[in-house]
Amino acid sequence: MSMIWVYLETSGGSLTKGSLEALGEARRLADAAGGSVCGLLIGADLGNPATQAGHFGADKVVTVEDAAFADFNLEVHTRLAVKALGGGEAMLVLMSVSTHTRELAARLAANLGVGLAVDCIGLEREGDELVFKRPLYGGKVYQEVTLAGAPGIALLRPNNFEAAPEDTGRAAEVTPLGETVDAGDLKLAVKEAVAAAVGKVSLTEATVIVSGGRGMKGPEHFNLVEDLAATLGAAVGASRAAVDAGWREHPEQVGQTGKTVSPVLYIACGISGAIQHLAGMSSSRFIVAINKDPDAPIFKLADYGIVGDLFEVLPLLNEEFKQALA
């Protein structure tokens, strides 16, 4: 096997958790088949992320460091990634699913004329082939796909792959790509990127999510969800009903028209389990539902169900977790 590339994203000057997981999976594949791992970093202040990439499994990191590219620009990143990956040595490109990589991967696959597997939750080698497992129809069925053309591109869902253990004695060879994009030549300019005022833990990368729905009865009761989330170090999510009612912001919405999440633990509070909500969270490893209606559809999917009034259950649960984690 030749080189496996990993498109690396940063947040606050460090690699994102999803990028570390993609690196870990690339390392595992490369070790099994005698290949190497190369990270691609585009942006500003790449010193720390490049070092981190070495610690977490990259043999090489190719960088395009330019203050003008500090904010993600689809056109810039596509053009640079095509230049980096078009040389013929890449066999596979892994990326963690994010708003940016969903767009980038699709453009890249079209530009390179190669296959793309989105939302992968598993990846196995069968003979000479790599087989990617991905959920369809809100997790009702799973599809296994192989990719034609090199480099095949796969988007990995966060929390389904393991990052390699950090090894601070490991260093990657860092090489500038040696190519850039002329800003005057761009059809799309990013004037400003404003971070949404949402919780500290990123919803798509969170290991634990506590979500509230219409059963919360109003924005003033979401402190119950927030308190439990704070105890568990979790992100806060919401159903569309809660968002449409103006109780929560859209970046917190989970589901078909919101975010797709894949945490280890998803706690749904006062959420009925409509198919459009399940589409965004059904691949969570463990699902806990709190609902006063024993026939609520969410219980069909939940691993653990609490039939009860969330206004009684949530404070009790929070106290129990606080004691257990103290």
Nearest CA among 272, 284, 314 for reference residue 208: 284
∠ CA 298-300-305, rounded to 5°:
65
User: Taking the complex as a whole, how short is the minimal distance between the CB of residue 256 and ligand FAD, in angstroms?
Assistant: 4
- Kindly state whether residue 102 participates in binding ligand FAD, applying the rule CB under 6 A: no
User: Taking the complex as a whole, how short is the minimal distance between the CB of residue 71 and ligand FAD, in angstroms?
Assistant: 26
In angstroms, the CA 181 to CA 228 distance is 46
Instruction: Kindly tell me which residue out of 93, 241, 267, 317 binds ligand FAD, with binding defined by CB under 6 A.
Output: 241
- Kindly state whether residue 248 participates in binding ligand FAD, applying the rule CB under 6 A: no
How many Cα atoms occupy the beta-carbon half-sphere of 251 within 13 Å? 14
In angstroms, the CA 247 to CA 11 distance is 27
Instruction: Tell me if 46 sits within 8 A of 65, measured CB to CB.
Output: yes
Nearer to ligand FAD, 175 or 257 (CB): 257
Nearer to ligand FAD, 94 or 254 (CB): 254
- CB neighbour list of residue 149: distance below 8 Å, 6 or more residues apart: 112, 113, 114, 115
- Kindly state whether residue 271 participates in binding ligand FAD, applying the rule CB under 6 A: yes
Residue 253 has which token pair? 């919405």
User: Taking the complex as a whole, how short is the minimal distance between the CB of residue 245 and ligand FAD, in angstroms?
Assistant: 9
User: Taking the complex as a whole, how short is the minimal distance between the CB of residue 248 and ligand FAD, in angstroms?
Assistant: 10
Q: Which of residues 16-75 bind ligand FAD (CB under 6 A)?
A: none
Instruction: Kindly tell me which residue out of 92, 164, 224, 310 binds ligand FAD, with binding defined by CB under 6 A.
Output: 310
Contacts from 102-106 at CB under 8 Å and sequence distance 24+? Answer: 102/155, 103/74, 104/7, 104/74, 104/77, 104/78, 105/153, 105/155
Give the 3-state secondary structure of residue 205: coil
User: Taking the complex as a whole, how short is the minimal distance between the CB of residue 307 and ligand FAD, in angstroms?
Assistant: 9
- Kindly state whether residue 277 participates in binding ligand FAD, applying the rule CB under 6 A: yes
Instruction: Kindly tell me which residue out of 18, 158, 270, 305 binds ligand FAD, with binding defined by CB under 6 A.
Output: 270
- Kindly state whether residue 99 participates in binding ligand FAD, applying the rule CB under 6 A: no
Instruction: Tell me if 156 sits within 8 A of 22, measured CB to CB.
Output: yes
User: Taking the complex as a whole, how short is the minimal distance between the CB of residue 319 and ligand FAD, in angstroms?
Assistant: 17
In angstroms, the CA 147 to CA 145 distance is 7
Instruction: Kindly tell me which residue out of 55, 157, 240, 248 binds ligand FAD, with binding defined by CB under 6 A.
Output: 240
Instruction: Kindly tell me which residue out of 106, 122, 274, 285 binds ligand FAD, with binding defined by CB under 6 A.
Output: 274
Stretch that binds ligand FAD, among 19-27, 75-83, 107-115, 255-263 (CB under 6 A): 255-263
Instruction: Kindly tell me which residue out of 19, 272, 283, 284 binds ligand FAD, with binding defined by CB under 6 A.
Output: 272
Nearest CA among 264, 275, 268 for reference residue 236: 268
**Strands laid side by side in the 141-145 sheet:** 122-126, 129-136, 141-145
Site mask, ligand FAD, residues 206-235, x = CB under 6 A?
-------xxx--------------------
Nearer to ligand FAD, 127 or 246 (CB): 246
In angstroms, the CA 302 to CA 163 distance is 27
- Kindly state whether residue 293 participates in binding ligand FAD, applying the rule CB under 6 A: yes
In angstroms, the CA 317 to CA 62 distance is 47
Nearer to ligand FAD, 42 or 298 (CB): 298
* CA distance readout (Å), 113 to 78, 82, 204, 306: 13, 11, 28, 49
Instruction: Kindly tell me which residue out of 276, 285, 321, 322 binds ligand FAD, with binding defined by CB under 6 A.
Output: 276
Residues in touch with ligand FAD (CB under 6 A): 213-215, 239-242, 253-258, 270-272, 274, 276-277, 280, 290-293, 296, 309-311
